[in-house]
Amino acid sequence: MTAAASPGTPAVPAPLGYAPREDLRWLLRRPGMLVGRLVFVLWQLASLALALLVQGSSTDRRVQQRLGKRILDTLTSLGPCFIKVGQALSTRPDLVRRDWLDQLTQLQDNLPAFPQAVALRTIEAELGAPVEQLFELFPDYPVAAASLGQVYKALLPDGHWVAVKVQRPDLPLILRRDLVIIRLLAILTAPLLPLNLGFGLDEIIDEFGRTLFDEIDYRKEADNAERFAALFASHPEVTVPRVERQLSTQRVLTTSWIHGTKLQERQVLEARHLDPTALIRTGVVAGLQQLLEFGYFHADPHPGNLFALPGRTGPLGHVGYVDFGMMDSISNADRLTLTGAVVHLINRDFRALAQDFVTLGFLHPSTDLEPILPALEEVLGGALGENVGDFNFKTITDRFSELVFDYPFRVPVRFALIIRAVVSQEGLALRLDPDFKIIRVAYPYVARRLLAGDTAEMREKLLEVLFDRDGRLRIERLESLLGVLEDDGPSTDLLPVVGSGLKLLFGPDGASLRQRLLLTLVRDDRLHTDDLRALADLLRRTFSARKLASGLLARLNPLTAAA
């Protein structure tokens, strides 16, 4: 593949793949391209920084709107790499002013399109025939233009509508050139920045670069989409477009069309009789399933990649995912440790939580945890409040940055995309509902998995929740666990909990649980009937005949649950 660096510059072959050292040598051999681009980037960023420094503190809304437009125009003019940075910022309402956020969201899929003639030539070169032969109807303009490609809504000869994504021209060269420059600037400026990452910015940029080059191979994206669809095949609340393999190549990707509404503005969703809260719930639950169950996740769930669809499945709205270029996997060990970290946070076991940070690589194994424990309790425990539902994830992200700076925390490179996915999901939720508390969805999800005890790991975590270090039953923890489920939704949720709980308690997998219950009830050579009475009373209140009957009725007639 060849590409022109600028008008009047001879075509330059763009090597394949991302290799930072080789790319640096490649660009150094072309000083005209390097110097010209570097000067342009520095001029644009310096001009933007000066404008923000002079006017950033203004209370005039019009001034801030103009600054937001300035940020948008600057990132757009700098191209795909910088647009990707802006996309990440557009998901962070806690870091970016609302006046600027409104502009940055346009970076998701509202960018200038490249010429139609170029797109048509790419399709013909990749698919071996002109669009008139391949499609019954192909439009004269794209429905969306993003940083790496643009999408057309086309009609197949069999009457099905499809999304045809066509890659922007010369992307390998453009990405390679800009990644070298960004990497150089990061290495030069890193010592001046107040960061405590535990590794170099160049490592973050290298991960970013590898991800970008994976994104521009649409064959990998097609594989990702099919794998993601298989994981959610039994979940009607999540829709994944079908890949049209015969019309997909490295630079063209064709999938079935998702007829939905972007998860961008609450008012638009409500005007179309879609419930933003139910949709947020689905997004969060699906994200948790990806991280904590499947170990394979969508790393870019920004508003342009998620669509609201009509319909409900219990308390969950229906959501469609698109754009599977940025995906990643999480190891089983990390997945189980993260699940345990949620449990430890809820139980306020900050010593175990600190150990989770060590296990995950956020703290070095030789780190003295004693000075960190009070800080963890102050930052995380304070945000948790007296009630699980009071947990505010936004507060955590704001205050945790202080911990990272003051204590020897570092972010492992393998967590870069996980953090991006969580941050994007959080930003989307807060955009639709500024008062949304992610733990009110996350904890019930974990609670159901714990009470079901459907894996050995979950049974081990359940015992950790229910019993203290001395083996005594923690009634208040079980009460909290069940209380969150009751507050989370209609009584239909209690029916599967009853079934799973009874199956676990009396089945072969519940031997450890039965043994621990017996040991906690018989202590010091006598029967502790107070624990037994408290447990029986809790179960009677939670699973009363009236509640179970109400749940059964709601299950038989879903309309009663929605009322």
- The residues assigned a catalytic role are 300
Amino acid, res. 322: V
Task: Burial-class residue 214 by CB neighbours within 10 Å (0-12, 13-18, 19+).
Answer: middle
Please report the DSSP string for 426-467 in residue order: HHHHHHH-TT--THHHHHHHHHHHHHHT-SHHHHHHHHHHHB
Distances (CA, A) of 299 to 156, 430, 439, 503: 30, 18, 20, 36
Strand order across the beta sheet in which 261-262 lies: 238-239, 316-321, 306-313, 261-262
Query: If residue 109 lies in a helix (H) or strand (E), which one and from where to where?
Result: none
Q: Rounded to whole angstroms, how far apart are CA atoms 62 and 71?
A: 14
Contacts of 514 (CB under 8 A, 6+ apart): 505
Helix (H) or strand (E) holding 316: strand 316-321
Structure tokens at 64: 């801030």
For 126, the token pair is 């990749």
Residue in the structure block whose two tokens are 């920045």: 193
Q: Which amino acid is at 520?
A: T
Structure tokens at 376: 């963890």
β-bridge partners, 255: 163, 243
Tokens of residue 210, six digits: 């590898």
Does residue 153 contact residue 139 with C-beta atoms inside 8 Å? yes
3-state secondary structure 260-305: CEECCCHHHHHHCCCCHHHHHHHHHHHHHHHHHHHCEEECCCCHHH
Contacts 24+ apart (CB under 8 A), 494-499: 494/542, 494/543, 494/547, 494/548, 494/551, 495/548, 495/551, 495/552, 495/555, 496/448, 496/452, 497/448, 497/451, 497/452, 498/543, 498/548
- The owner of tokens 């994504």 is 165
Provide φ and ψ at 327, rounded to 5°.
-125, 160
Question: CA 516 from chain center: how many Å?
Answer: 37
Q: What's the maximum distance between 2 C-alpha atoms anywhere in the chain?
A: 92
Sequential DSSP letters for 488-532: HS-GGGHHHHHHHHHHHHHSGGGHHHHHHHHHHHEETTEE-HHHH
Report yes or no: 177 and 37 within 8 Å, Cβ to Cβ. yes
Of 213, 224, 230, 181, give the one whose Cα is nearest residue 322.
224
